[in-house]
């Protein structure tokens, strides 16, 4: 290789590195998009918008939240995977997209730990079981009894893995025969719930807050290991059925290959948000327990969730689609 060729290759490499560094140092120079792979109104959507407001104030740049629902979160997740790794397209991640889908589907077009740079976790939460007041059902035990006495007549709606598997696990622990109906969004499922087509809904704390006090609804119990401090009078379902417990997590990721300086800036924003009293108060309002998982431990946490959800899905007898 002659000197001219070597010089040219060195110049190209140096130019590329300097451009990348300049991009990182100047980031962001245009609006940032956070893709929520589910419809509006759910836990991920509400959390993404809360963090988007915080990030916008911190970086002095517009942050736009885009709902890209479909295939239980797969469409939006794949879209971000295939986006430029420049820090301008981010993904709201959940146990559904990073863990449960790997066992709910025979083939998923992304690898959670390989195709994404995981920037941090916002927090964890659980769900709550709701039935219609007209049903006369007042407890988890009464729901079980009703379902057993009326096989084929109890339906639940699900729009992500949390809403599906909390119900499926309830079936495993109680023997209650219930049939799941898939929906693209929580709004569509709730419409049918209030319309009487669905007898029970397992909804995450965040979106459930606007329905808890509805006079048309009876609250049966929460799916967490213990009672939710905001609703101290609502029992954990595990109090009636020991061993029943299922929660979920929410985080933020970018396509793999994002510049290191950009990733650090976003990681820093998440870390500072989790120390900000205003943001923490917002998380509390939304029912999220702030994350205690460090950046270094996050990949191991995700792997453990992949294993945990695989076991839950296996125990529930749910066959991959």
Walk along the chain (321 residues) and give the pLDDT tens digit of each residue: 454 444 444 444 444 443 444 345 689 999 999 999 998 888 889 899 999 999 999 999 999 999 999 888 999 999 999 999 999 999 999 999 999 999 999 999 999 999 999 999 999 989 999 999 999 999 999 999 999 999 999 999 998 888 998 999 999 999 999 999 999 889 999 999 999 999 999 999 988 988 999 999 999 999 998 999 889 999 999 999 999 999 889 999 999 999 999 999 999 999 999 999 999 998 888 888 899 898 889 999 999 999 988 998 898 888 898
Give domain 127-240's CATH architecture.
3-Layer(aba) Sandwich (3.40)
CA 311 vs CA 67, 100, 120: distances in Å:
29, 10, 25
Q: What pLDDT score was predicted for residue 24?
A: 52
Find out whether 171 and 316 touch, Cβ atoms under 8 Å.
yes
d(CA 195, CA 104): 28
Q: Are strands 200-204 and 63-67 parallel, antiparallel or unpaired?
A: unpaired
Do 122 and 51 form a contact (C-beta atoms < 8 A)?
yes
The Cα-based distances of 262 to 86, 154, 211, 250 in angstroms read 8, 49, 39, 21
* Measured CA angle at 42 (ends 41, 47), to 5 deg: 95
**Exposure string for 297-309, b = 16+ CB within 10 A, e = fewer:** ebeebbeebbeeb
Q: Compute the radius of gyration of the chain from its Cα atoms.
A: 22
Indicate the DSSP class of residue 309: H
Q: Classify domain 29-125+248-316 by CATH architecture.
A: 3-Layer(aba) Sandwich (3.40)
Q: Is 41 exposed, middle or buried (0-12, 13-18, 19+ CB in 10 A)?
A: middle
Kindly list the domain boundaries of the chain, sorted by start residue: 29-125+248-316, 127-240
What is the rounded distance in angstroms from the CA atom of residue 43 to the CA atom of residue 25?
A: 33
Strand residue runs (E) in the chain: 32-36, 63-67, 89-94, 116-125, 127-132, 155-158, 179-182, 200-204, 217-222, 248-255, 289-290
Q: Distance between CA 169 and CA 244 in Å, rounded?
A: 7
Element (H, E) at 144: helix 140-149
Report strand pairing: 127-132 vs 217-222.
antiparallel
């Amino acid at each position: 290789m002659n000197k001219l060729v070597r010089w040219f290759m060195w110049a190209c490499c140096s130019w590329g590195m300097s451009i990348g560094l300049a991009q990182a140092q100047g980031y962001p120079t245009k609006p940032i998009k956070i893709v929520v792979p589910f419809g509006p109104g759910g836990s991920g959507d509400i959390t993404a918008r809360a963090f988007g407001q915080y990030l916008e104030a911190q970086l002095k740049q517009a942050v736009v939240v885009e709902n890209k629902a479909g295939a239980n979160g797969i469409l939006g997740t794949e879209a971000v995977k295939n986006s430029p790794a420049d820090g301008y397209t981010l993904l709201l991640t959940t146990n559904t997209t990073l863990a449960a889908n790997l066992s709910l589907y025979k083939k998923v077009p992304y690898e959670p730990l390989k195709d994404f740079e995981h920037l941090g976790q916002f927090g964890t939460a659980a769900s709550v079981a709701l039935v219609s007041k007209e049903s006369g059902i007042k407890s988890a035990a009464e729901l079980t009894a009703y379902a057993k006495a009326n096989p084929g007549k109890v339906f639940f709606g699900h729009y992500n893995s949390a809403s599906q598997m909390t119900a499926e696990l309830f079936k495993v622990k109680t023997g209650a025969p219930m049939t799941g109906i898939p929906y693209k969004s929580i709004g569509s499922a709730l419409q049918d719930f209030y319309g009487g087509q669905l007898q029970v809904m397992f909804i995450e704390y965040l979106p459930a807050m606007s329905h808890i006090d509805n006079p048309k609804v009876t609250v049966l119990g929460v799916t967490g290991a213990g009672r939710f401090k905001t609703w101290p009078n609502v029992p954990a379902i595990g109090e009636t059925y020991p061993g029943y417990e299922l929660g979920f997590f929410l985080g933020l990721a970018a396509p793999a290959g994002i510049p290191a300086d950009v990733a650090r800036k976003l990681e820093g924003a998440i870390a500072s948000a989790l120390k900000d009293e205003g943001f923490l108060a917002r998380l509390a309002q939304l029912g999220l327990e702030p994350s205690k998982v460090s950046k270094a431990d996050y990949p191991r946490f995700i792997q453990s969730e992949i294993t945990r959800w695989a076991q839950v899905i296996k125990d529930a007898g749910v066959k991959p689609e």
